[in-house]
């Protein structure tokens, strides 16, 4: 498969999904309930999922789809897939509910357990990030498209600009980092958009503590890696995709500068 040939249509699909979500967001009329994992889901999540499912089935009818909103698939079946779409139709559901606007759609293509394409679209600012394995990472806004690169930190390292969740206790982040390093914290909602800030060099790292799914990181991982960074668990091991019975991620860190001694920076 020539993955790059999918990009033009995927951009349309990502923006179309964003339009579905944003129309509901602007109306202020949506239904909400709590899933079995105690996380919220809204009618906007479901509408975005259904739109993505229909559009990707038309685009690539032979590629199976795994979405946060339809992930109850037998482990043996999904692990038989060589290539599949991995989706979070609405990343940042709580931000949608609280009306911060910090939410996005995540589309990833996983091949042989590796994300080889990532696309993230934030409808509030009409910003689209995308990457293909070996082809670089890009950011597209109404002003145009540019290739993006993660930030290289000055040595010796004295401080880190860390992007965190609005609900994350900063003390928990502080405990993970060596005492001699100052932390400059900036808050944002959507996990994928936080990762993209690292990819474009506007933050040094993003630390995520708490439950996430593989759909939360696959698209971001491709973008961050192509920009020069990485996503690893807090023991600095790679995240896995479709290789375990669970689809839950461990705690992880997104960082831009691979040359830093992260094993010394992280105390965990």
| Domains of the chain from N-terminus onward | 3-147 (3.30.540.10), 159-265 (3.40.190.80)
Strand 137-141 versus strand 159-165 pairing type: unpaired
* Residue 167: per-residue pLDDT: 77
Mean pLDDT of the 163-173 span: 84
Strand order through the sheet with 83-91: 65-67, 83-91, 104-111, 114-122, 127-132, 137-141, 144-147
**Greater pLDDT, 39 or 162:** 162
105 pairs with which residues across the strands? 121
Burial of 180 (0-12, 13-18, 19+ CB in 10 A): exposed
**Would the pTM of this model clear 0.75, i.e. be above it?**
yes
Give percent of the chain above pLDDT 90.
Answer: 84
Q: Calculate the dihedral angle through the C-alpha atoms of 50, 58, 220, 147, rounding to the nearest 10 degrees.
A: -130
**The predicted structure's pLDDT at residue 156:** 86
Residue 154 has a pLDDT of 84
Would you place residue 189 in the very low, low, confident or very high pLDDT band (cuts 50, 70, 90)? Answer: confident
pLDDT at residue number 190: 85
Q: What pLDDT, on the 0 to 100 scale, is given for residue 268?
A: 73
Distance (Å, whole) CA 7 – CA 11: 6
Tens of pLDDT, residue by residue over 21-42, are 999 999 999 999 998 878 899 9
pLDDT (average), residues 190-195: 92
Q: Specify the higher pLDDT residue, 98 or 268.
A: 98
Query: What's the rounded mean pLDDT across residues 163-183?
Result: 88
Of the pLDDT bands very low, low, confident and very high (cuts 50, 70, 90), residue 106 is very high
Q: What is the pLDDT of residues 228-259, one digit of tens each?
A: 999 999 999 999 999 999 999 999 999 999 99
Does residue 148 carry a pLDDT above 80?
Answer: yes
pLDDT tens-digit profile of 45-91? Answer: 999 999 999 999 999 999 999 999 999 999 999 999 999 999 999 99
- The mean predicted confidence, pLDDT, of the chain is 94
Per-residue pLDDT for 137 more than 90? yes
């Amino acid at each position: 498969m020539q993955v790059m040939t999918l990009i033009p249509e995927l951009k349309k699909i990502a923006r179309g999904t964003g339009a579905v979500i944003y129309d509901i967001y602007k109306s202020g009329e949506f239904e909400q309930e709590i899933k079995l994992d105690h996380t919220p889901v809204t009618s906007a999540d479901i509408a975005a999922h259904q739109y993505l499912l229909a559009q990707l089935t038309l685009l690539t009818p032979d590629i199976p789809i795994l979405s946060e909103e339809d992930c109850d698939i037998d482990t043996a079946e999904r692990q038989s897939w060589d290539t599949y779409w991995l989706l979070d139709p609405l990343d940042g559901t709580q931000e949608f509910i609280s009306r911060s606007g910090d939410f996005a759609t995540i589309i990833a293509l996983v091949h042989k357990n590796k994300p080889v394409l990532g696309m993230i679209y934030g409808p509030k600012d009409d910003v689209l990030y995308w990457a293909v394995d070996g082809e670089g990472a890009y950011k597209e806004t109404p002003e145009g498209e540019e290739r993006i690169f993660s930030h290289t930190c000055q040595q010796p390292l004295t401080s880190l600009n860390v992007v965190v969740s609005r609900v994350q206790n900063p003390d928990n982040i502080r405990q993970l980092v060596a005492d001699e390093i100052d932390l400059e914290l900036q808050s944002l909602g959507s996990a994928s958009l936080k990762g993209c800030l690292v990819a474009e060099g506007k933050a040094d790292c993003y630390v995520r503590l708490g439950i996430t799914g593989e759909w939360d990181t696959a698209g971001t991982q491709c973008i961050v890696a192509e920009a020069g960074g990485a996503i690893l668990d807090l023991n600095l091991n790679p995240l896995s995709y479709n290789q375990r019975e669970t689809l839950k991620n461990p705690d992880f860190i997104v960082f831009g500068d691979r040359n830093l001694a992260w094993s010394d920076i992280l105390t965990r």
